[in-house]
Amino acid sequence: MAKAVMTVARQSMREEIVEAALDQFHSRGYNAAGVKDITATAGAPKGSFYNHFDSKEALALTALERYGETLRMRDLADASVAPVARLRAHFEFLRDETVGHGYKRGCMFGNFGTEIGDHSEVLRVGVEQNLVVWTTLVADVIGEAQRGGEVRGDLDPATTARFVVNAWEGTLIDARATRSADAFGSFFALVFGTLLTAPAKAPGEGGADADGRRSQRGA
């Protein structure tokens, strides 16, 4: 019984450290968030850190995975919502998260990629792997939208998804630098108003004419 209680307590402390690390890394960055800061936030003795993680890098990898879970990536696979609407809702959620934090936090994948990617191969690979997972999910949604006729078929889903994710990362930099939502407006207008749009109908294919009446060719 005592052993079981100790195991639960150990797991709980590990969870507290992970949550504290996620908050510290996201708000302060990798280099500024020390092990002492993280354990203090978690309410754990600094010496207990190494009972749960071999290094700060190992904790950062776990924090990156946990951050990915906060992005609601699973919603991208929700077939009950139309693909383009699903993708737009995903980025609207991310936009609202950024605004809610007062434009003071960006994407932790992007933050780590620019801050520590040149100095830690372990974390560079961790960022890359998480971006691949995210981009693949976005590509799947775009491909689904193409099959349903929501998005034109001349776009390569993988290439387009990578562009969209990269455009989002740049949008976050702009929004944080200006403390303004203007960049989000440009992102949504271009991605969902220009890029991910339905294919144009050929002349005579039907639809409404200038007066709003259905064409009756051949009638």
- Whether residue 154 is predicted with pLDDT greater than 60 in this model: the reply is yes
Structure tokens at 64: 């990156």
- Whether residue 53 is predicted with pLDDT greater than 90 in this model: the reply is yes
Give the pLDDT band (50/70/90) at residue 99: very high
pLDDT of residue 175: 97
Q: Which of 110, 93, 134, 125 is nearest to 29 (CA)?
A: 110
Mean of per-residue pLDDT scores for the chain? 89
Give the pLDDT band (50/70/90) at residue 199: confident
Q: pTM (2 decimals)?
A: 0.85
* Collapsed DSSP state (helix, strand, coil) of residue 45: coil
Structure tokens at 202: 């050929």
In the chain, the percentage of residues whose pLDDT exceeds 90 is: 81
DSSP-assigned letter for residue 82:
-
Q: pLDDT (tens digit, 9 = 90+) per residue, 62-94?
A: 999 999 999 999 999 999 999 999 999 999 999
Q: Which of 2, 121, 23, 118 is nearest to 66 (CA)?
A: 23
Instruction: Produce one character per residue of 56-69: b if its CB has 16 or more CB atoms within 10 Å, e if not.
Output: beebbbbbbebbbe
CA 123 to chain centre: 17
Topology (CATH) of 72-195? Tetracycline Repressor; domain 2 (1.10.357)
**CATH for 2-66, options being 1.10.220.10, 1.10.3720.10, 3.20.20.80, 1.10.357.10:** 1.10.357.10
